[in-house]
Amino acid sequence: MLWLKAFHLIFLVTWFAGLFYLPRLFVYHSMAEDTISIERFKIMERKLYYGIMAPGACLSILFGLSLLYTYGFALYKTQMWLHLKLAFVALLIIYHLYCGHLRIQFAKNKNKHSHVFYRWLNEVPVIILIACIILAVVKPF
């Protein structure tokens, strides 16, 4: 069981590293004006999304579900903190997919947002991470 937790946390950190970095790349990409930089950002964003974020997300979710199965779903039916944490995980998955959508828009040269938008977007995973850690460690309810 401790191995499951360890791998869950390892891939969670991997996933969040990408979730923190991809919107930062979007900030710089949206400000880039020369073709060489724009093409370089497209490559970096694609490699980050498919090489780090997607595997990190899938494996983090897989090990998280394994933990749920190992501990027993019945045990957690009454644990409100877990329900809320899983709701935040669902939001995180939506955020991840939205970042993938934005990456595709950049790849097609159809970005519609300013660098300020991406600076604010970059704060979303921070809030979700703080909420999830507090819920998992403190278990306030």
CA atoms of 63 and 9, how far apart (whole Å): 9
Q: What is the pTM of this model?
A: 0.93
Task: Please determine, for residue 3, whether its predicted confidence score (pLDDT) is greater than 90.
Answer: yes
The average pLDDT across 114-121 equals 98
pLDDT of residue 77: 74
Instruction: Work out the average pLDDT over 40-56.
Output: 98
Q: Is the pLDDT of residue 126 over 80?
A: yes
Classified as helix, coil or strand, 41 is helix
Span 84-104, average pLDDT: 97
Give CA 57 to chain center in angstroms: 7
Tell me the C-alpha distance between 82 and 131, whole Å.
Answer: 11
Q: What CA–CA distance (Å, rounded) separates 68 from 65? A: 5
Round to whole Å and give the CA distance between 12 and 10.
5
